[in-house]
Amino acid sequence: MSKQVNNKMVGGFLVTALALLVVGVMIFGSGTFFEKTETRVMHFQGAIKGLTIGSPVLLKGVKVGTVSNIVVNYDPSKLTVDIPVYIALNPSSFSIIGGEAPKTLEAQRKRTKDLIAHGLRAQLQTQSLITGQLVVALDFFPDTPVKLVNPDGPVIEIPTIPSALDQLSDTLKRINLDEIATQTSAVLEGLAKLVNAPELKASLKDLQTIMQKTKSTMSIVESRAQPLADEVVGTVTDTRKLVNQTNERVARLSNSAEAILQKTDNGLGPLVASLNTASNTATDTLLAAKKALEQADNMLGKDSHFRYQINNALEELAAAASSIRDLAAYLERHPEALIEGKK
């Protein structure tokens, strides 16, 4: 007769095998079991709730490692607690351009110091708002100070900066909420007094009265504005007609005056020429008389009556010639004198 199989032993064996299979897949499937990593340490200020072993380490959003250990260091002499966070960086996640990766610890320390001088910092960031999980984010912040707890320790240290939540918390701590509340209360109290002041109510009532009067005045102005505008338009039209008529009359008068002056100029030329001829003739006569007088001077005495008459005639003739000359010159300058007379 065969021995009965123990079901509990079979079930336990299957569960153990399944667990070993899962662990093997996790270890060997991730590809990190035989992979060499580089360890770095960081000291964050503030709480690190949400950061666990296995949390990803990101460099500009790319996963380059994981959190390998979190330790709580207590110093009884100073009564302080320090929580260093150790991370394991995967060298295969980095590709060195124009060189090779440092192999010794000193070479790695020097390379890390160069990156820190260039601004390499570690910061806690929220991975999920729902779960509250955190990640370690590596990035470059060259304008931030370098704070190291143990720069010459056995593990290379990367400086940290406060998270965005910590920065917001520090900003809120610097705000004096009590003072703001007091000032806000004073402002609200002042507004309440202003709103309930009888002077404000009276001013609003006066303003309403003024608005009603203004509305009535505008209605009156609108009712009278259109007739006034029509009158202005009519006046402008009449003025334009009057100006046009005046321009026509002035044009006709100007044409008449030009015609009269043209006729005057046509008749004035021969007259002036005749006067010039008469003046020249008188001048010639005077010269001839002078010559005759010189010839007769030898025959007539100085006290002769005949000579006296001749002298008077010559003087009158000279005066007549001068008058003719003056008249001709005046008419040349003022031809309108023939129409209007001498002024």
Confidence check: pLDDT of 86 > 90: yes
Q: Tell me, what's the pLDDT at 56?
A: 93
Q: pTM for this one?
A: 0.45
Question: Is the confidence at residue 342, as pLDDT, over 70?
Answer: no
pLDDT of residue 249: 64
Q: How would you list the strands of the sheet with 84-89, edge to edge?
A: 38-43, 84-89, 62-70, 56-59, 134-140, 120-126
Q: What is the pLDDT of residues 30-56, one digit of tens each?
A: 555 556 888 899 998 888 888 999 999
Listed by start position, the domains of the chain span 34-174, 201-340
Task: Inform me whether the pLDDT recorded for 109 exceeds 80.
Answer: yes
Give the three-class secondary structure for 308.
Answer: helix
DSSP structure string for 237-301: HHHHHHHHHHHHHHHHHHHHHHHHHHHHHHHHHHHHHHHHHHHHHHHHHHHHHHHHHHHHHTTS-
